[in-house]
Amino acid sequence: MPQPNENRFRHRDLNWLSFNERVLQEAADKINPLYERMKFLAIFSSNLDEYFRVRVSQLRQMKRVKKSIRKKLALKPSRITKQIIEEVKKQQNQFGDIYKKQIIPELAANNIFLLEADHYNHKQKAFAEDYFRKNIQQHLDPMLINLDEENELFLKNSILYFLVTFKDENKLAIVNLPVEECGRFVTFNDEAEKHQITYLDEILRHQLFKIFPESDITGIYEIKLSRDAELYIDDIYEGVLAEKIYESLKQRTDGQPTRLLYDASMPDPVHRKIRKLLKLGKIDMMPGGKYHNFKDFFTFPDPSGNKDLHFKKLPPLPHKTLEKSDDYFKSILEKDQALHFPFMSFDYVEKFVEQAAADDQVTDISISLYRVADESKLTNSLMQALENGKNVTVFVEAKARFDEENNISWGRKFEEKGAHVIYSFPKVKVHSKIMLVKRQENDETVRYAYIGTGNFNAETSEIYCDHAIFTANKLITKELDRLFKVLEGELIIPREKNLLISPFSTRQEFTKLIYNEIENARDGKKAKITAKMNSLEDEEMIELLYRASEAGVEIRMLIRGFTCLIPGVKGMSENIYITSVVDRFLEHGRIYLFENGGDEKMFYGSADWMSRNLDRRIEVISPVLDEDIFNEFKDILNIQLKDNVKARIQDKEETNTYVQKDDDEKTVRSQYAIYDYLKEKHSND
- Report pLDDT digits (tens) over 210-234: 999 988 999 999 999 988 765 443 3
pLDDT score for 286: 87
pLDDT score for 69: 47
- Report pLDDT digits (tens) over 377-432: 999 999 999 999 999 999 887 654 545 666 777 778 888 999 998 876 655 678 89
pLDDT score for 252: 44
User: Which pLDDT band, with edges at 50, 70 and 90, does 149 fall under?
Assistant: confident
Q: Which domains does the chain have, with CATH numbers?
A: 1-94 (1.20.58.310), 111-305 (3.30.1840.10), 322-493 (3.30.870.10), 502-681 (3.30.870.10)
Contacts of 552 (CB under 8 A, 6+ apart): 521, 522, 527, 575
User: Which pLDDT band, with edges at 50, 70 and 90, does 77 fall under?
Assistant: low
Which residues, listed in sequence order, are joined to residue 260 by a DSSP beta bridge?
A: 225, 285
Residue 345 and residue 484 in contact, taking contact as beta carbons nearer than 8 Å: no
User: Which pLDDT band, with edges at 50, 70 and 90, does 623 fall under?
Assistant: very high
Helix (H) or strand (E) holding 26: helix 12-28
User: Which pLDDT band, with edges at 50, 70 and 90, does 318 fall under?
Assistant: very high
Rounded to whole angstroms, how far apart are CA atoms 307 and 648?
Answer: 28
| Of residues 156, 196, 195, the one with CA closest to residue 179 | 156
CA dihedral 607, 609, 612, 615 (to 10 degrees): 90
- Report pLDDT digits (tens) over 181-205: 999 999 997 666 789 999 999 999 9
Rg of the chain over all Cα atoms, to the nearest angstrom: 27
Buried b (16+ CB within 10 A) or exposed e, 495-523: ebebbbbbebbbbebbeebbebbbebbee
Phi-psi region of 571 (alpha: psi -120 to 50; beta: other; left: phi over 0): left
DSSP state letters, 397-412: -TTSTT-HHHHHHHHH
**Burial class for 533, CB neighbours closer than 10 Å (0-12, 13-18, 19+):** buried
Rounded to whole angstroms, how far apart are CA atoms 434 and 605?
Answer: 9
User: Which pLDDT band, with edges at 50, 70 and 90, does 70 fall under?
Assistant: very low
Phi, psi angles (nearest 5°) of residue 263: -65, 120
**Does the pLDDT of residue 152 top 70, yes or no?**
yes
- Report pLDDT digits (tens) over 27-59: 999 999 999 999 999 999 999 988 887 777 767
Residue 671 and residue 585 in contact, taking contact as beta carbons nearer than 8 Å: yes
431 is catalytic: yes
Which residues, listed in sequence order, are joined to residue 163 by a DSSP beta bridge?
A: 174, 221
Rounded to whole angstroms, how far apart are CA atoms 176 and 140?
Answer: 6
Helix (H) or strand (E) holding 338: strand 337-341
**Does the pLDDT of residue 328 top 70, yes or no?**
yes
Instruction: Give the residue-averaged pLDDT of 144-168.
Output: 90
238-247, 275-284, 628-637: least confident range = 238-247
User: Which pLDDT band, with edges at 50, 70 and 90, does 1 fall under?
Assistant: very low
Instruction: Give the residue-averaged pLDDT of 69-77.
Output: 50
Ranges 64-78, 274-288, 301-315, 365-379, most confident: 301-315
pLDDT score for 422: 85
User: Which pLDDT band, with edges at 50, 70 and 90, does 438 fall under?
Assistant: very high
Q: What percent of the chain has pLDDT above 90?
A: 74
Instruction: Give the residue-averaged pLDDT of 642-664.
Output: 94
pLDDT score for 16: 94
Max CA distance (Å), the chain: 86
**Does the pLDDT of residue 243 top 80, yes or no?**
no
Of the residues 292, 340, 431, 467, only one is catalytic, namely 431
CA dihedral 328, 334, 336, 337 (to 10 degrees): -40
pLDDT score for 410: 78
Rounded to whole angstroms, how far apart are CA atoms 461 and 392?
Answer: 24
Residue 575 and residue 552 in contact, taking contact as beta carbons nearer than 8 Å: yes
Rounded to whole angstroms, how far apart are CA atoms 680 and 166?
Answer: 67
**Does the pLDDT of residue 667 top 90, yes or no?**
yes
Rounded to whole angstroms, how far apart are CA atoms 338 and 316?
Answer: 15
pLDDT score for 232: 41
User: Which pLDDT band, with edges at 50, 70 and 90, does 153 fall under?
Assistant: confident
Q: Which residue would you say has higher pLDDT here, 68 or 558?
A: 558
Phi, psi angles (nearest 5°) of residue 410: -65, -40
pLDDT score for 604: 98
Residue 42 and residue 295 in contact, taking contact as beta carbons nearer than 8 Å: yes
CA dihedral 199, 251, 276, 285 (to 10 degrees): -60
- Report pLDDT digits (tens) over 566-585: 999 999 999 999 999 999 99
Question: What is the pairing mode between strands 391-396 and 362-369?
Answer: parallel
Residue 473 and residue 595 in contact, taking contact as beta carbons nearer than 8 Å: no
Residue 479 and residue 472 in contact, taking contact as beta carbons nearer than 8 Å: no
Residue 28 and residue 38 in contact, taking contact as beta carbons nearer than 8 Å: no
Rounded to whole angstroms, how far apart are CA atoms 71 and 531?
Answer: 36
Residue 227 and residue 253 in contact, taking contact as beta carbons nearer than 8 Å: yes
| Of residues 116, 109, 142, 272, the one with CA closest to residue 215 | 142
User: Which pLDDT band, with edges at 50, 70 and 90, does 78 fall under?
Assistant: confident
Helix (H) or strand (E) holding 187: strand 185-188
pLDDT score for 62: 55
pLDDT score for 191: 65
Could you list the beta-strand ranges (E) of 416-497.
Answer: 420-422, 429-430, 433-441, 444-452, 464-471
Rounded to whole angstroms, how far apart are CA atoms 49 and 67?
Answer: 28
Instruction: Give the residue-averaged pLDDT of 367-375.
Output: 77
User: Which pLDDT band, with edges at 50, 70 and 90, does 364 fall under?
Assistant: very high
Residue 424 and residue 397 in contact, taking contact as beta carbons nearer than 8 Å: yes
pLDDT score for 224: 94
pLDDT score for 430: 83
Residue 330 and residue 361 in contact, taking contact as beta carbons nearer than 8 Å: no
> Residue 573 has what DSSP assignment?
T
293-297, 333-337, 506-510, 552-556: least confident range = 293-297
Rounded to whole angstroms, how far apart are CA atoms 309 and 306?
Answer: 6
Rounded to whole angstroms, how far apart are CA atoms 116 and 289?
Answer: 14
User: Which pLDDT band, with edges at 50, 70 and 90, does 597 fall under?
Assistant: very high
pTM (two decimals): 0.90
| Of residues 420, 355, 416, 361, the one with CA closest to residue 391 | 420
**Does the pLDDT of residue 331 top 50, yes or no?**
yes
Which residues, listed in sequence order, are joined to residue 247 by a DSSP beta bridge?
A: none
Rounded to whole angstroms, how far apart are CA atoms 187 and 311?
Answer: 23
| Of residues 340, 339, 317, 337, the one with CA closest to residue 328 | 337
Rounded to whole angstroms, how far apart are CA atoms 153 and 220?
Answer: 18
CA of 328: how far to CAs of 243, 334, 362, in Å?
A: 38, 10, 13
